[in-house]
Chains A and B, each alone.
Chain A
Amino acid sequence: MDFDVIIIGCGPAGLQAAIHAARKKVKVAVLGHLEASGLNRADVENYFGIDQMSGKELLFKGAEQARRFGAEIFEQDVMKAERKDDAFEVITDHDLEFRSRALILAPGISRKKLNVPGEKEFLGKGVSYCASCDCNFFRQKTVAVIGDESTAASSALLLTEYASVVYWISKNLNVAPQLMAKVKASKADIISPASVARITGDEVVKGLELNDGRRLAVDGVFIELGAKGAADLALDLNVLPDPSGIIEVNKDMETSVPGVFACGDVTGMPWQLARAVGQGCIAGTNAAKLVRKEAD
């Protein structure tokens, strides 16, 4: 599907970017899940003109507003984003392909920690947060992937090419049917619903204890929560984040790569609604200008 502007991220920054871009009469696609936005779980009480409102209510109003201005929202996770000649190509977990001339990164900052005993202690001793980085160290070994969404599914798939046994442990499977079908066709063993109580071992990881009392002997534990992270998306596009995952932008919300903009929490602190919305306005306006080749 061809668009003028693709926005990755369905939070206040991405939606405000969509509103401003769509009002400039360019064709806008927004990719991401509304419920994944931090605003969905927040109470708003310090935003201009609003004394008290649930973040969820404001978020869904914003999504409706973006749709009214013509933006199309696809509640799908991005699996791959790359530059192809003069355009950007984005592939989602529904196996859909999107193309655009400008791209806005507004994926927020994702939570990566599981917060169970053993997680911190065994980091680098069997615990990993990056299957694509560390899969090579687990050839012919037994590993577990923990997570409910697309990153866990794609990591489990990847690890089946390296490890001899792959368990995928999920509280609540929340993956697009197209991606789920690929995992089911692989050798990964899906354990769901189940959750991890602790990671065990001595010098290195030896196993997992689940909350229902089951125990699994594993050599590696891959913690892969949520959707593909901002840093990975940026790197796909040759935008180099800092070691904290923060993407540097200029006053026009442009990244170091022409045609790629970023806005919201992914550009740094303070992680506030007002900042996200303000940056979304600038990114959306400038992405639309770029596409329409308007002068400043």
Chain B
Amino acid sequence: MEELKSGAKGADWPHEPVALTDASFEAFVAKYSMVVIDCWAPWCGPCRMVAPVVDALAKEMAGKVAFGKLNTDENPSTPGKFNISAIPTLLVFKGGKLADRIIGAMPKEQLAAKIKKHL
């Protein structure tokens, strides 16, 4: 935790997931050195289960990782571009490039470990 905090670059990093659209997606991914996008939909049970975990990690990893949320129902273009066919899918971008995709709900420790290996 302390290690993560010490890496913060300033107030510009979001401390909670930013709601994104197809239109704002690319600029958000380009803005930060590391980005995680939670692709979700309102009727998806596992998406609702993992949402509090994503919220908590966004706070804990602020300054190292910028988190976004994309409603796949309202924004079909981005899921199509990344061939998403199951949600929740977390897209991990490093330096603007897709580095990983994490599929399905999982406990916080497990999800944090999968993200931290890209730091």
Contacts and interface: CB of A to CB of B under 8 A. Distances in A.
B41 A138 contact: no
Interface in B10-40: none
Given A136-B72, A136-B73, A243 B49 contact: yes
Contact of A130 (B44, B72, B79): B44
Contact of A134 (B48, B49, B85): B85
Given A243-B106, A244-B107, A232 B86 contact: no
A240 B53 CA distance: 12
A177 interface: no
Contacts of A138: 85
Interface size class of A (residues with CB under 8 A): 20 to 34
Given A124-B101, A138-B85, A133 B45 contact: yes
B53 A243 contact: yes
B86 A123 contact: yes
Given A133-B87, A137-B84, A232 B45 contact: yes
Interface of B: 41, 43-50, 52-53, 72-73, 79, 83-87, 89, 101, 103-108, 111
16 contacts: A124-B85, A124-B86, A125-B83, A125-B85, A130-B46, A133-B46, A134-B85, A134-B86, A134-B87, A136-B72, A137-B84, A138-B85, A231-B46, A243-B107, A244-B105, A244-B106
